[in-house]
Amino acid sequence: MEINVNNLVINYKKSGHGQPVILMHGWGQNLEMMYTIENNLVDNYTVYNIDLPGFGYSDEPDYPYTISDYVAFLKEFIRLNKIDNPIIIAHSFGCRIALKYASENDNLDCMILTGAAGLKSKKTLLYYLRVSFYKIVKKFKNFPFIKYYIQEYMDNSGSEDYKNSSPIMKEVLKNTINEDLEPILDKVKVPTLLIFGSEDDATPLWMGEILNNKIAHSKLIVYPNASHYAYLERSEDFKNDCNQFLKEGLNDVR
């Protein structure tokens, strides 16, 4: 499906029925990387799986977006689709948008954030890019459901994402990773489940611990020996933890 949002043609997939859930992928990815989450939800929720601006089949912004611009995009997407009381589930870069949106708006039901980016890293830009897909390729290249997508991304991962990006998207990346969201975390009031891998190189566990300490209504679950892609590596656990959180709330999540 396509929709015009702030003069950009946005590709997204709408499926299922029930309370709305918005899925937002990580940097250099697209909605296909959220398929495992989507498939878990479609029986009970209306799922909006989005190619964020500049990714997948969505238009690239005509100027270097900041996180605030992505928040404005999300707000308009919600308005145009007449979405009420949505749940947000996001990975990595998508979590930056979710966190800032939640700090400025009170219309969310809850959030599930995995491998959440948003805090200032001590790592260099080049390092941030190099960790993107190489480790997950080793783990998932033979998984029947996603091996096609992993192979597709393997050829375009790491620093190649930056080198092959347009000048605008290079500036978008710089804008987003250089903005520290820690000062606004106390404004996030929505119940938030945080899921991190203990071996996450891109968004290390210390980031998850800060998020958990700063967000008033949050819970942190750590998957031992899992990476930045814990939601794929531990897909069954992730599914169960998400379902339990969505059904019973924070107090009953393991």
Per-residue pLDDT tens over the stretch 93-132: 999 999 999 999 999 999 999 999 999 876 554 455 555 5
Q: In what order do the strands lie in the sheet with 218-223?
A: 2-5, 8-16, 45-50, 19-24, 87-91, 110-114, 192-197, 218-223
Q: For 166-211, how does the pLDDT look when each residue is reduced to its tens digit (9 = 90+)?
A: 899 999 999 999 999 999 999 999 999 999 999 999 999 999 999 9
All domains in the chain, ordered by first residue: 2-249 (3.40.50.1820)
pTM here is 0.86
